[in-house]
Structure 1
Amino acid sequence: MKKSFLITLITFCSIYSFGQSKNAITFQAEIANRNGDVIYIKDAKNKTVKEIKINDKGIFKDSFEIEKEDFYIFFDGVEYTQLFLKNGYDLKLKMDAKKFDESIVYTGKGAAENNYLAQSVIKEGQITPEKLASLNEDEFKKMTAEKQLTEEYFLNKSKLDKTFIEIQKRNIAMNIKGLQRYYTESKAVQKLNNVMAPKFNYVNHKGGTTKLEELKGKYLYIDVWATWCGPCRGEIPSLKKIEEKYHGKNIEFVSISIDVQKDFEKWKKFVSDKQLGGTQLFADNDWNSDFAKSLNITSIPRFILIDPNGKILNAGAERPSSPKLEELFDKLLNLQ
């Protein structure tokens, strides 16, 4: 996947459609609040190798064969999730695209493996940057060791497909390495607290540009994100709620997109379609923007809290979905 908190490296194989046969995979779904009219099955190089059209009721059904059972990506044009496919599977998916990962439920042959994958994403999301940063080295080692042992024990005791178990064990080991790397980065981020925030001057969705200096005088809660980032989009409902709660208070909500320049129009449309609030900005050089590099931003979403004088209070602040964030805001704004 791209640079997001969940770090998973997966080996894929190509998928080919030979039409329906006795050995074909049957894949059908009922999707509420769909994001588009087509579902894409993608390979390791992000190449679309299978397209499935969705009707106006959010329903599709298709059949195809694969060369080898393996992991794939299910992409609806906005969100994506992992799939494990094997010839002979009869998968039925029901989900709400607005809630996506949290709403995914499979039934039919192959459901056990794919429900496991869907639940794994939710569990990984519970290991937040804030939680990692709060651990000392011994606590982190204990947490990751227990995590790996628990997940491998479950797989060994399960009746899941043997190929699936083999691949997933490799993924678990790589996820642990990813967490170790992210833990090191989280500790480095902590060192940025209590220093002056780096300046920026970025394009504003409402027109013109906005500088950091123009926002001084208020607390700033900055969300660094991108339209392609699933965990970023997952925080949007919570961010909207917290913006509404503190509307008119001495705090400004600023979202900085680090989408690449070619996706500028996509960003503009996304902000408008999703009716995103606060101050919506577009960074000048995606991951290589000075603001992102100065704050050691190598994964997103990333939330930064800045005081009214421009000093960083927390370079790795709580996410909008965390109850601790409202407790902090109430304390800062004397609302307790």
Structure 2
Amino acid sequence: MKKLFLFTLLTFCSVYSFGQSKNIVKFQAEIANRNGDVIYIKDNKNKTIKEIKINDKDIFKDAVEIEKEDFYVFFDGTEYTQLFLKNGYDIKLKMDAKKFDESIVYTGNGAAENNYLAQSVIKEGQITPEKLVALNEDEFKKMTEDKKLTEETFLDKSKLDKTFVEIQKKNIAMNIKGLQRYYNESKAVQKLNNAVAPTFDYVNHKGGNTKLEELKGKYVYIDVWATWCGPCRGEIPFLQKVEEKYQGKNIEFVSISIDVQKDFEKWKKFVSDKQLGGTQLFADNNWNSDFVKNLGITGIPRFILIDPAGKIINADAQRPSSPELQEVFDKLLN
């Protein structure tokens, strides 16, 4: 869920400034199975304000100068999480990068606010896209109202930093708006099911162009992605395993990149370097490609399942990382 609502989780209400010449935070991280030897603290514009290198004791430790008490981002080179930083905080983080969100624990001055943020991510993960879209409008309204009331009531009764509480309340409201937008878009996408799939005619990595019509007679599982998209790249190992399992079956795996035209060579190199399988295509006009717009795609990765007659089975199909996808394929292909 963290990936799904990235646009809400990283939307901060930065309206507080205190005019101090320097605001210093002490930050330390012990990371098992770390993804690299450098971690980054970023501001809410994704600008790196501090790079911290691993020391000879296998600990990331340094002082971080911040502009003001606010929300920031911790990035380990692969994944991210929110931080609330304030002058005088002395935060110690312990985690396992292989269990990124689930393992985060903070101690020290500033731990309470940041542990709250870490736990919030786990709670958000319980609101799966499937559960969300299965709700009718009244159920969705009740769910979001209850969610907002519960979270705000907790914050009001907590002893957390007052500035943190004020900012977080604004973030909760923006998160609810993000859920509403996703819900509305998902319901609109559901209406595409059983309709004839919009066509495409895109450059194939192996040469020439490929049209959707050329794949009739097969089930088609389409991955709309981009090389810059972290969640998209995260699905690649799962997709490769699914492709291997159903090799020789009556299904075509198609990946359509919506990278911008200037990154065409970057896409070609990425596909070659990662030895991506299936049919690798490059959309003609990134987000503005007709196929993308006709399917109402506003976020990626997005997966579409089409039947042998060219009709859409699911315009927002399960991801390769979802065990449910293989259950769907087994019913269709066996």
Paired with 1:114 and 1:185, the residues of 2 have a C-alpha distance of 32
In the alignment, structure 1 residue 302 sits paired with structure 2 residue 302: yes
In the alignment, structure 1 residue 110 sits paired with structure 2 residue 122: no
Quote the offset at 1:300 in angstroms.
2.3
The answer to which of 325-334 and 182-191 deviates more is: 325-334
Equivalent residue runs for 1:42-191 within 5 Å: 42-54=42-54, 59-97=59-97, 100-191=100-191
Counterpart for residue 26 of structure 1: 27
Quote the offset at 1:142 in angstroms.
1.2
Counterpart for residue 13 of structure 2: 11
> Residues 251 and 47 from structure 1, CA distance in 2 versus in 1: closer, same or farther, beyond 3 angstroms?
same
- The one-letter amino acid of 1:311's match is K
Paired with 2:70 and 2:38, the residues of 1 have a C-alpha distance of 22
- The one-letter amino acid of 1:221's match is Y
- The one-letter amino acid of 1:11's match is C
Quote the offset at 1:56 in angstroms.
9.9
Paired with 2:288 and 2:87, the residues of 1 have a C-alpha distance of 43
> Residues 108 and 237 from structure 1, CA distance in 2 versus in 1: closer, same or farther, beyond 3 angstroms?
farther
Counterpart for residue 40 of structure 1: 40
Quote the offset at 1:166 in angstroms.
1.8
Paired with 2:230 and 2:65, the residues of 1 have a C-alpha distance of 28
Q: Once the two structures are superposed, what CA deviation does each residue of 1:175-231 show, in whole Å capped at 9, x if it has no partner?
A: 111111221111111121122222223344455543323333321222223344444
The answer to which of 129-138 and 289-298 deviates more is: 129-138
The DSSP-based 3-state class of the residue aligned with 1:114 is helix
Paired with 2:205 and 2:124, the residues of 1 have a C-alpha distance of 32
Verify the 8 A CA contact 2:13 2:171 in the aligned structure 1.
Answer: no
Verify the 8 A CA contact 2:44 2:71 in the aligned structure 1.
Answer: no
The answer to which of 270-279 and 281-290 deviates more is: 270-279
The DSSP-based 3-state class of the residue aligned with 1:163 is helix
> Residues 85 and 222 from structure 1, CA distance in 2 versus in 1: closer, same or farther, beyond 3 angstroms?
same
> Residues 52 and 46 from structure 1, CA distance in 2 versus in 1: closer, same or farther, beyond 3 angstroms?
same
Verify the 8 A CA contact 2:223 2:254 in the aligned structure 1.
Answer: yes
The CA RMSD over aligned residues, in Å, is: 3.4
The DSSP-based 3-state class of the residue aligned with 2:143 is helix
Equivalent residue runs for 1:260-279 within 5 Å: 260-264=260-264, 266-268=266-268, 270-271=270-271, 276-279=276-279
> Residues 44 and 33 from structure 1, CA distance in 2 versus in 1: closer, same or farther, beyond 3 angstroms?
closer
The DSSP-based 3-state class of the residue aligned with 1:321 is coil
* Number of residue-to-residue matches in the alignment: 329
Paired with 2:276 and 2:155, the residues of 1 have a C-alpha distance of 41
> Residues 219 and 119 from structure 1, CA distance in 2 versus in 1: closer, same or farther, beyond 3 angstroms?
farther
Paired with 2:310 and 2:37, the residues of 1 have a C-alpha distance of 45
**So what's the TM-score if we normalise by structure 1?**
0.82
> Residues 31 and 63 from structure 1, CA distance in 2 versus in 1: closer, same or farther, beyond 3 angstroms?
farther
Quote the offset at 1:307 in angstroms.
0.8
> Residues 6 and 65 from structure 1, CA distance in 2 versus in 1: closer, same or farther, beyond 3 angstroms?
closer
Q: Once the two structures are superposed, what CA deviation does each residue of 1:144-188 show, in whole Å capped at 9, x if it has no partner?
A: 112212222333343433322221111111111111122111111
- The one-letter amino acid of 1:62's match is D
> Residues 115 and 231 from structure 1, CA distance in 2 versus in 1: closer, same or farther, beyond 3 angstroms?
farther
Quote the offset at 1:55 in angstroms.
6.5
> Residues 6 and 30 from structure 1, CA distance in 2 versus in 1: closer, same or farther, beyond 3 angstroms?
closer
> Residues 318 and 60 from structure 1, CA distance in 2 versus in 1: closer, same or farther, beyond 3 angstroms?
same
**So what's the TM-score if we normalise by structure 2?**
0.82
Q: Percent identity?
A: 81
Paired with 2:118 and 2:271, the residues of 1 have a C-alpha distance of 27
Verify the 8 A CA contact 1:33 1:58 in the aligned structure 2.
Answer: no
Paired with 2:187 and 2:323, the residues of 1 have a C-alpha distance of 22
The DSSP-based 3-state class of the residue aligned with 1:30 is strand
Counterpart for residue 225 of structure 1: 225
Quote the offset at 1:270 in angstroms.
5.0
The answer to which of 47-56 and 64-73 deviates more is: 47-56
> Residues 193 and 24 from structure 1, CA distance in 2 versus in 1: closer, same or farther, beyond 3 angstroms?
closer
Paired with 1:258 and 1:99, the residues of 2 have a C-alpha distance of 30
Q: Once the two structures are superposed, what CA deviation does each residue of 1:114-152 show, in whole Å capped at 9, x if it has no partner?
A: 233233334334434333332211111111112212222
Quote the offset at 1:265 in angstroms.
5.0
Q: What runs of 5+ residues in structure 2 fail to find an aligned partner?
A: none
Paired with 1:330 and 1:151, the residues of 2 have a C-alpha distance of 41
Paired with 1:261 and 1:76, the residues of 2 have a C-alpha distance of 29
Equivalent residue runs for 1:247-266 within 5 Å: 247-264=247-264, 266=266
> Residues 227 and 177 from structure 1, CA distance in 2 versus in 1: closer, same or farther, beyond 3 angstroms?
same
